[in-house]
Amino acid sequence: MDLELVKRLVDAASIAAIVDQAVSWHERPATLGFPSIVLTIAAPGREYTHGGADGLDEPRVQLDMFGLDAVELITLKRAVIAEMELPRDVDGIRFHEGFLETEFTPPAEILPDGRRAYRVTHEWSFFWENLS
């Protein structure tokens, strides 16, 4: 699901128009630039029966969206919401409708060159399953 979620976001035209390919897991490396999206697993969401994993997981994924322009960041946020609320099949993985659980907007970060970097943090939960 990890690589497929990145692919899902960069393949969504409304998101790619803003971040291009700048979607990464775990951290925002300097090479990622702005605007960008960083993904982190907040909870794995593995479901089990007496026979083991049931094959339908509901993780909670944190999406940190970064930008140098507040208006552009709002546009990115809206594009992410529109994409994540839809079901989508990506490379053999079925993503069911996502649910926006939390939204947080921390204060702007002052970069070493004096520019401001803005951030919006979402936590999404969604079911996914392997179709193979």
> 69-100: per-residue pLDDT in tens?
999 999 999 999 999 999 999 999 999 999 99
Distance of CA 37 to the CA centre of its chain: 6
Question: Is 42:29 a contact under the CB 8 Å cutoff?
Answer: no
| Domains of the chain with bracketed CATH | 2-130 (3.30.2000)
> 6-57: per-residue pLDDT in tens?
999 999 999 999 999 999 999 886 777 899 999 999 988 777 667 766 667 7
Question: Is 61:95 a contact under the CB 8 Å cutoff?
Answer: no
> 92-104: per-residue pLDDT in tens?
999 999 999 999 9
pTM: 0.89
CA-wise closest residue to 16 among 61, 80, 104: 80
DSSP designation for 31: G
